[in-house]
Structures are given as structure tokens and as C-alpha cells.
Amino acid sequence: MTSTRTITPHPDLPLTLTETGSDHGRPVLVLHGGGGPATIAGLIGHLARSTRVIAPVHPGWQGTPRPAWFTGVDDLALTYLRHLHEQGLRDVVVVGSSFGGWVAAEMAVRDTAGLISGLVLIDSVGVHVEDEPVVDFFALDGRGIADHAWHDSDRYFVDPTTVPAAQLTARQADMAALRTFAGDPYMHDPKLLRRLAGVHVPALLLWGAADRIVTPAYGAAYAAAFANARLHIIPEAGHLPHIEQPEATFALIDAHLGAIDSPSRASS
């Protein structure tokens, strides 16, 4: 089953959600990064084979409305937690890529109802790591973005002069939304790293070895801050390993979901 609908968690906040996969599968909330829903389409397709996938469009992306007050990552985290609660969903795994991983981490530290049973963060931003700053994405040109984000930068480089005007306008609108949420301080919550010690659900952090936006060293510090986390570095991948190395990435995610399900974990 696949359906897309709009809900209104606040009167002035329409939220677009796509649900796909198995009605009886474990619920998995998948959160896209700054590049928008297209960047996680393959990931959603894979997860939908065995789980019930819930994939929102962050307000402001793809031309969706974003109220003037809705400017913080905490707004996103609280809105998605509220939706899980109102739908009566429990045992939810939250998967987030890049900016979406930041939202996932903020959800986990606020999940006082215990709705979340596991996390998958893929090259996530959101924390401050001394000597490993998040690269200023907005200062990069097309070539710079490719070099920082991809292992095979020549394959994925897109010359902005070749992008159709309508598509370029849509991308610029998405980047404007990302800039709003990126905030000041840039791309992180100064308190988040310390708060992650209180997150005890199993977390899997996947990192592309060639990521220069947030480096593997940044990922290692992120993983170390959780109470129960593992870091896997994926060779020949950059900031979006689920696109550059989908088989390796999906295998690691599948194993993590299976470990959460295992009787040994339930009885430990």
C-alpha cells in the first residue's frame, strides 16, 4: 500500500505524509535531508519491503507551507513525536539522513513516552564536535558541493547552468527552508551532544568514508555520545551512502532492525 495525505498537527501547519509498505510491519519513520524527499526514495523503497514506512515532507520543502513560527528543529521533532503518539504507534525506528538525522536525534532526547525503539542516523548533522565543524554548505558552488558530498564527485556533479529553470527554483526554495532550520549556531544544537547520553535505544550511525561535509571523525564523536550506539564507516561513499553504496547501507540497516527484534535483546 502507498498513500499520500495531508494532516494538520496545528491549524496553520499542513503536513504532507507518505505511507508505504506493509500494514502489519514495524513502523519506520524516515526523515529526509536538505536535498529533499528524492534523496531517500531508494531507501524508502527498500524499507517498504518489510516495514510500514512513514515519510513526511518537512514543511518548506517541495513547495509545502511553513508557518512563520515554525523555524526550529525542535518544532519538527515535537511535531513528528505528536503524530506518532496520536496514531498510537510504538516500537518505531526513526531513520534520518543528514538534516533528517538531526531531527531524529532531537526526537529521541524528547521521547518521554518511549515510542522510539531504535535509530539509524546516516551522515547526520546536529551536534558540535570540537575541531570537526560542519562545512558551510551554503558557501559551496556546484563543484564544491560535489567534491564534499560524494566519493565519486565526477559522476554526481551537476552543472547548475544545465538545470531547468523550474527545477532550479524548486531547489532554491528547498535550500531557503534548510537555511531557516540550520539556524545560528549553524547546523547544530549546542546542547544535543550532551543530551544524547540519556538516549538508551540502540542507535546505528552510518557514515560515508569520503564525507567531507561531516567527516567520519565527526560521526565517531556523535556515536560515542549515545548510551548505546555503533558506528559503521562505508567505503567508497560520501554524504549519502544509501545512494552511492545502497547494498552495503541497506544490509547494515536490515541487520540493525533484526537486532532490535532479536529475543536476546528483549531479554537482556
pLDDT in tens, 198-231: 999 999 999 999 999 999 999 999 999 999 999 9
Nearest to 141 by CA among 164, 168, 167, 160: 160
In a 3-state reduction of DSSP, which class is residue 66?
Answer: coil
CATH superfamily ID and name for 2-262: Alpha/Beta hydrolase fold, catalytic domain (3.40.50.1820)
Q: Which residues contact 261 (CB under 8 A, 6 or more apart)?
A: 26
- Per-domain residue ranges of the chain: 2-262
In a 3-state reduction of DSSP, which class is residue 89?
Answer: coil
What's the grid cell of residue 244? 552511492
* Model confidence band, residue 262 (pLDDT cutoffs 50, 70, 90): low
H/E stretch holding 229 reads strand 229-234
pLDDT in tens, 23-56: 889 999 999 999 999 999 999 999 999 999 999 9
Whether pLDDT at 157 is above 80:
yes
For 197, phi then psi, to 5°, come to: -60, -25
Global confidence as pTM:
0.96
Contact (CB, 8 A) for 84 and 115: yes
In a 3-state reduction of DSSP, which class is residue 119?
Answer: strand
In a 3-state reduction of DSSP, which class is residue 86?
Answer: helix
